[in-house]
Structure 1
Amino acid sequence: MDVSVAFPTALSSPDDIALAEELGYARAWVYDTPQQSPDVWMTLALAAERTERIGLGPGVLVPTLRHPMTNAAATATLAALAPGRVAVAFGTGFTGRRAMGYRAIPWSFMDAYIRTYRALLRGEVVEWEGAQMQMLHPDGHAPARPVEVPVLVGALGPKGDAVARELGDGLYVTLAQPEFMPAYSWVPYLAWGTVLDEDEAQDSEHAKVAAGPGWALAYHGAYEFGGPDAVRELAGGDAWMDTVEKAPDGRRHLAVHVGHCVELNDADRAAWDAGGHTMLRDATISGTRNEVRDRLDELAGKGVTEIVFQPCGPDTRRELERFHDAATSR
Structure 2
Amino acid sequence: MTASDNTPAAPSIANTVFAEGKLTIGITLPITGDNQSVVDFNEQIAIARLADRLGFRALWVRDVPLNSIDYPDPVGHLDPWVLLGALASNTERIALISGAIVSTLRHPLHVAKGAISIAALSQGRFILGLGSGDRPPEYAAFGRDPDARRDLYREHWDTLAAAVTLPSRVIPDSAPEGAPEFYLLPRQHASIPMLAVGSGGQSVDWIARHSLGWMTYHREPQAQRGRYSMWRAAVERAASGAFRGFGVAMRLDLSKDVDEPASDIALGYRMGRRALIEVLHDMRESGTHHVTLNITSERRAARDIIEEVAAHVLPEFHR
Q: Same fold (TM over 0.5)?
A: yes
1:291 aligns with 2:275: yes
Q: Which runs of 5+ in 1 are unaligned?
A: 208-277
Q: Which residue of the other structure, out of 183, 187, 196, is the alignment partner of 1:136?
A: 183
1:14 equivalent in structure 2: 45
Output the CA distance in 2 between the equivalents of 1:106 and 1:191.
Answer: 26
2:239 equivalent in structure 1: none
Return the structure number with greater helix share: 1
3-state DSSP of counterpart to 1:193 = strand
Q: TM-score, normalized by length of structure 2?
A: 0.68
1:118 equivalent in structure 2: 161
Deviation (angstroms), 1:201: 7.8
Distance 1:134 1:320, change over 3 A: farther
- On the 8 A contact 2:208/2:244 being kept in 1, the answer is no
2:248 equivalent in structure 1: 189
**Identity percentage of aligned residues:** 19
3-state DSSP of counterpart to 1:128 = coil
Deviation (angstroms), 1:21: 0.5
Deviation (angstroms), 1:50: 0.9
Deviation (angstroms), 1:43: 0.6
Q: Which residue of the other structure, out of 301, 305, 308, is the alignment partner of 1:319?
A: 305
1:300-330 superposed Cα distances (whole Å, 9 cap, x missing partner): 1221101111222262211212233453255
Deviation (angstroms), 1:17: 1.4
Output the CA distance in 2 between the equivalents of 1:56 and 1:63.
Answer: 17
Output the CA distance in 1 between the equivalents of 2:258 and 2:86.
Answer: 40
Deviation (angstroms), 1:6: 1.0
1:148 equivalent in structure 2: 191
1:254-310 superposed Cα distances (whole Å, 9 cap, x missing partner): xxxxxxxxxxxxxxxxxxxxxxxx743x84132122211111112112211011112
Deviation (angstroms), 1:4: 0.9
Q: Which amino acid aligns with 2:26?
A: S
Task: Write the mapping of 1:24-39 to structure 2, written as runs, cut at 5 A.
Answer: 24-35=55-66, 36-39=76-79
- On the 8 A contact 2:105/2:139 being kept in 1, the answer is no
3-state DSSP of counterpart to 1:74 = helix
Return the structure number with greater strand share: 2
Deviation (angstroms), 1:128: 2.9
Deviation (angstroms), 1:101: 7.4
1:161 equivalent in structure 2: 204
Q: TM-score, normalized by length of structure 1?
A: 0.66
Output the CA distance in 2 between the equivalents of 1:327 and 1:199.
Answer: 12
3-state DSSP of counterpart to 1:187 = strand
1:250 equivalent in structure 2: none
What is the total number of aligned residue pairs between the two structures? Answer: 249
2:103 equivalent in structure 1: 63
Output the CA distance in 1 between the equivalents of 2:162 and 2:303.
Answer: 40
3-state DSSP of counterpart to 1:192 = strand
